[in-house]
Structure 1
Amino acid sequence: MDNIMSSLTSPKGPVAVVAAEVATRAKASIYPEPYATMMQGRVKRQLGEVFGLANFGVNLTTLVPGAVSSLRHAHTRQDEFVYVLSGHPTLHTDAGYEKLAPGMCAGFKAGTGDGHRLVNQTNEDVIYLEIGDRTSGDSATYSDDDLAASLIDGRWQFTRKDGTPI
């Protein structure tokens, strides 16, 4: 086993890891307050960062009971995809609520304006993979909150929906 593990690392970094052993993201949320506090109970392991992926991100995300994946949002240029590994999250979109189960997936095409998020309304943890591209010039609107975001030079900048600073 030691030979197999050592062969999975190159001089440029790892080429294979145990996803659940990747360190959790240091900052729980990039949202400004009071929205960041609303993300308590969400734990992300940024798998794409481990490998230096530049074109898309992959997170192994855990939601404890009562936690949410994000504020309900829609991207203008970024496609998103989630795949449920364990637990039973509720998908909240403009169409309403739908219970998901392990093995189910959901996709969110950029530019549709359909606000979406996952909510853990159960007594067990929910674990899922989330995948999104990193298209420059992306922006997001937040369906239920006075918040907007723009991806500028690889960093999210937040304002109110009317463009005024937060």
Structure 2
Amino acid sequence: MKQSPIAAALISAPLGKTIYPEPYALLVKGRQKRKLGEHFGLTHFGVNLTHLLPDAVSALAHSHSKQEEFILVLEGSPTLVLGEEEFILQPGDCYGFKAGTGIAHQLINRSEETVTYLEVGDRAEGDEVEYPKDDLKATQLPHGKWALTHKDGRSYE
């Protein structure tokens, strides 16, 4: 189905929407993610225009087994947490997160201004996500759905 171009700001983006269970969902309450790729029906990779309010995080520190991610900062100065290192990014800075490295990453907005960045990720099947600082594990199920459990396999339900 053919669609017309659209301003990214017109694509809906609920504030704080996440698949994280409590208490982790609260940590991303200041994140707003516009799923640009989904709007156009893209299925091989995702493209998100993401805004982080002051003190918000992009996600829990995590690493993917199969899916790769890329970010490009458009506005603001987020802190990139990469393993045990931290880097303050500026507009125009970018970074790619290779799958399978085990190096956890996240963005934190420690500034007083909103941070805006473009996030691109593939949708390789069978991904597992490790959260080294939290009692959480994500396993991708068929059709892209996710199962979120404690590290010992117990459900959050």
Scaled by the length of structure 2, the TM-score of the pair is: 0.94
SS at match of 1:101: coil
Q: Shift of residue 163 of structure 1?
A: 1.6
**What is the aligned partner in structure 2 of residue 51 from structure 1?**
40
Say if 2:95 is the partner of 1:127: no
In the alignment, the residues of structure 2 paired with residue 143 and residue 100 of structure 1 have an alpha-carbon distance, to the nearest angstrom, of: 23
- After superposition, the C-alpha distances for 1:83-130 in whole angstroms (9 at most, x for unaligned) are 000000000011411000000001100000000000000000000011
Task: Give structure 1 stretches of 5+ with no counterpart.
Answer: 1-11
Task: Give structure 2 stretches of 5+ with no counterpart.
Answer: none
Shift of the 101–67 alpha-carbon distance from structure 1 to 2, 3 Å rule, reads same
Q: Of 129, 144, 147, which residue of structure 2 is paired with 1:157?
A: 147
- Count of aligned positions: 155
Contact 2:13/2:33 (<8 A) preserved? yes
Contact 1:55/1:134 (<8 A) preserved? yes
| 1:128-147 paired onto structure 2 within 5 Å | 128-147=117-136
- RMSD of aligned alpha carbons: 1.3
In the alignment, the residues of structure 1 paired with residue 11 and residue 61 of structure 2 have an alpha-carbon distance, to the nearest angstrom, of: 27
Contact 1:13/1:51 (<8 A) preserved? no
In the alignment, the residues of structure 1 paired with residue 14 and residue 45 of structure 2 have an alpha-carbon distance, to the nearest angstrom, of: 17
Percentage of identical aligned residues: 50
**What is the aligned partner in structure 2 of residue 74 from structure 1?**
63
In the alignment, the residues of structure 2 paired with residue 102 and residue 157 of structure 1 have an alpha-carbon distance, to the nearest angstrom, of: 34
Q: Which runs of 4 or more aligned residues in structure 1 lie more than 4 Å from their structure 2 counterparts after TM superposition?
A: none
**What is the aligned partner in structure 1 of residue 98 from structure 2?**
109
Counterpart AA for 2:125: S
Larger radius of gyration: 1
Scaled by the length of structure 1, the TM-score of the pair is: 0.90
Shift of the 95–142 alpha-carbon distance from structure 1 to 2, 3 Å rule, reads same
Q: Shift of residue 165 of structure 1?
A: 1.7
In the alignment, the residues of structure 2 paired with residue 53 and residue 29 of structure 1 have an alpha-carbon distance, to the nearest angstrom, of: 20
